[in-house]
Structure 1
Amino acid sequence: MAEDQTSPAASASDLRRMCRRSCSAVLATTAIGHKQVDDGWPVASMVVPAIDLDGAPILLISDLADHTRHLKADARLSMLFTGSDPASNDASRIETDHPRLTLFGRAIPTTSADIRNRYLLANPDAAQYVNFGDFGFYRVAVEAAYWVGGFGKQRRLSGAQFIVDDCQALRESHDDILDHMNTDHLDAIADIVAHQTGHSKQPGWKMKSIDCDGMVLGTDLTGSLPFRIEFPQTVLNPSDARQILVEMSKISRA
């Protein structure tokens, strides 16, 4: 797909990180059997996605929702991400120069335990309703991405350019990496947290998840909120992850 070569453009990893930072997204579907508009109308709704290890959005949605009925009839969708946390001050008003990303894809139903775990890691509150009979998981097969970074800044990517397609080894080793880091290298995690964020080393930071673009860290303390630390480059396998973490640890202790 063509892209504007005259303007600064975000990398694919930058765009995946924008999605990972977003606590919500706007979902656009095509109306089927809607009570207020005719079939074929575009319908927008708010969803709380998670982002899979490779960058694909994951949805947990109810059969009772209009957008789920629409997707069952026509799996095509688009999703708008701004990278904003609704609780943060910068989400109260979206300026015209605020970066935004639209993903185009198809919602694929899945019963994968891995998808379920990824979603609940990102959205632990969903445990309250994840087992309700009307809720189901969907993984979005991304076919295209369109980024606008402000006036004169844009980029268009294919799904193949956006999604990391060769990270199966990292996916299969995900839990082993977490176990290893949280058993043998809590000191390194604490050093990285202190260097990257300014947080104290003391609360007992642990790695909660890892993906191709970064890792989520948190503690077991009540009320403690998890946060991301991005990697300086994309990782595809345990060896890549180890190398990045060793480098980050050395920098944090320098």
Structure 2
Amino acid sequence: MADEHARTPPSASDLRRMCRLSRSAVLASVATGHTQVDDGWPVASMVVPASDLDGTPILLISDLADHTRHITADDRVSLLFGQPSDTGTTSPTIATDNARLTLFGRAVQDRSPDSRARYLSVNPDAAQYADFADFGFYRVEVQAAYWVGGFGKQRRLSGTQFIVNDCQALKTGHDHIVDHMNADHLDALADIVAHETPHPKELGWKMISIDCDGMVLGTDVPESSDIRIEFPQTVRTPTDARQILVEMCKKSRDLMA
């Protein structure tokens, strides 16, 4: 079964999962005014990304960094993601130990509070410097995606195939969904955790965030890390999310009965 799964090309949600679970990525930009190489040279640097609800990468970078100057002059970039570990997720990552994913896109500065909130929900430590005058948030508007999983294993997607479309309603309703689940349905979240993960349900799990592919839950227990639970299908609206959560809760309770 594992060999069969390894031969199956990854889905768009599989590839978005790679990005969501990655704690770092390599950013390639086009040199402009670099002190060591001529303009036009490709320059690679390490960045800490986050993924928006639809899979769009969000970056927080400093005006003092070379890559920010490059992006200001030429917004074409590539982001390289490696295979993340499976820690903290209920679904296995793509069945190969050397997978890598390149996203091609244009980096556009983004001052929206939603992007700021999304980035900091994924990388809370960045709150220490996110509001410094020389830091800014950027969205990478994905044009194409290229996955390589080893010899003879590859998949190419357009940006419209990689990014989830028509999910503005989910973005708008995000905070309401989180607040509603935490106010009225902690028992449902606990049952889902018990069914979908090896973690004990009694730790007081709360929803931290939700996106088109899954949700992140956390607890106030100090030694317990946040966990990610993938949805069985992509959601685009609060109604979709409600239906998925109801189905997951019902399934967990049926199996525990």
Q: TM-score of the superposition, structure 2-length normalised?
A: 0.90
CA distance, structure 1, for counterparts of residue 202 and residue 66 of structure 2:
46
Change (3 A) 1:132 1:224: farther
- 1:100 is aligned to 100
Distance apart, 1:112 and its partner CA: 0.2
- How many Å separate the matches in 1 of 2:135 and 2:68? 10
Seen in structure 2, the aligned counterparts of structure 1 residues 216 and 72 have a Cα distance that, compared at 3 Å, is same
| 1:208-228 superposed Cα distances (whole Å, 9 cap, x missing partner) | 000000001111334542121
Shift of 1:87: 9.3
Q: Distance in 2 between matches of 1:131 and 1:215?
A: 27
Where does 1:73-84 land on structure 2 (aligned, <5 Å)?
A: 73-84=73-84
Number of the residue aligned with 1:50: 50
1:92 aligned partner: none
Give the secondary structure class of the aligned counterpart of 2:19: helix
1:239 aligns with 2:239: yes
Match of residue 158 from structure 1: 158
Q: What is the identity, as a one-letter code, of the residue corresponding to 1:129?
A: Y
Q: In the alignment, residue 57 of structure 1 is paired with which amino acid?
A: P
In structure 1, distance between residues paired with 2:211 and 2:78? 23
Asked if 1:22 is matched to 2:58, the reply is no
Distance in 2 (alpha carbons) for counterparts of 1:87 and 1:234 = 21
2:203 match: secondary structure: coil
What is the CA distance between 1:196 and its match in structure 2? 1.1
Greater displacement, 195-204 / 139-148: 195-204
Q: Provide the secondary structure at the position in 1 that maps to 2:43.
A: strand
- Residues 87 and 67 (structure 1), Cα distance of their counterparts in 2 relative to 1, 3 Å cut: farther
User: Which deviates more from structure 2 when the two are superposed, residues 129-138 or residues 34-43?
Assistant: 34-43
Residues 135 and 148 of structure 1: CA distance in aligned 2, closer, same or farther (over 3 Å):
same
> In the alignment, does 2:209 pair up with 1:209?
yes
Deviation at 1:110, TM superposition (A): 1.0
**TM-score, structure 1 length as denominator?**
0.91
Give the aligned partner of residue 3 of structure 1: none
Classify the secondary structure of the residue corresponding to 1:10.
coil
What's the % identity of the aligned pairs? 72
The verdict on how the C-alpha distance between 1:120 and 1:235 changes in structure 2, with shifts beyond 3 A counting, is: same
Shift, 1:9, TM fit: 1.3
> What is residue 66 of structure 1 aligned with on the other side?
66
Separation in 2, partners of 1:224, 1:114: 27
Q: What residue ranges of structure 2 are gaps of 5+ in the alignment? A: 1-6, 89-95
Following the alignment from structure 1 to structure 2, what is the Cα–Cα distance between the partners of residues 223 and 65?
A: 35
How many residues are matched? 241
Shift of 1:83: 3.7
Distance 1:83 1:228, change over 3 A: farther
Aligned residue in 1 for 2:227: 227
SS at match of 1:173: helix
Preserved CA contact (<8 Å) 2:27 2:77: yes
* Divergent runs of 4+, >2 A: 85-88, 220-225
Shift of 1:8: 3.2
Question: Could you say which residue in structure 1 is the equivalent of 2:4?
Answer: none
Aligned CA distance change for structure 1 residues 247 and 222 (closer, same or farther; 3 Å): same
Cross-structure match for 2:112: 112
1:148-190 per-residue CA deviation (whole Å, 9 max, x = no partner) reads 1222111111101111110011111000100110011101111
Q: Distance in 1 between matches of 2:250 and 2:157?
A: 35
Segments of structure 1 that go 5 or more residues without pairing to the other structure are 1-6, 89-95
